[in-house]
Amino acid sequence: MTSTQLFNKSQLIDNLDGDVEFAESLMGDALIEIPQEVVKLQELCKGDDSQIIHLHAHTVKGMAANLCASKLKDICLKIETAAKDNDLKSARTFLPELEQTMLMTIEAIKTP
Partner 1 sequence: MEPKTVLIVDDEPLSVKILCHSLEDDYKTVLAQSGREALEIISLKAPDIILLDLIMPEMDGYEVYRQIRNDPSLDAIPVIFITMLESIECEAHGLKMGASDFVHKPFVADLVRLRVKNHLAFSQARNLLEQRSKELQALNRELESMLARVKLLEGIITICSYCHKIRTDKDDWKKLEEYISAHSEALFSHDICPECASQQMKIIENMEWKKR
- Contacts to partner 1 by CB under 8 A: 11-12, 14-17, 19, 22, 26, 29-30, 33, 52, 55, 58-59, 61-63, 65-68
Helices assigned H by DSSP within 1-112: 3-6, 9-15, 20-46, 50-66, 70-84, 88-93, 95-110
Question: In whole angstroms, what is the distance from residue 102 CA to residue 31 CA?
Answer: 10
Q: Which is nearer to partner 1, 13 or 96 (CB)?
A: 13
Q: Which is nearer to partner 1, 79 or 96 (CB)?
A: 79
Q: Which is nearer to partner 1, 20 or 96 (CB)?
A: 20
How many C-beta atoms lie closer than 10 Å to residue 62's C-beta? 12
Residue 20 C-beta: closest distance to partner 1, Å: 13
Q: Which is nearer to partner 1, 76 or 98 (CB)?
A: 76
Residue 58 C-beta: closest distance to partner 1, Å: 5
8: left (phi over 0), alpha (psi -120 to 50) or beta: beta
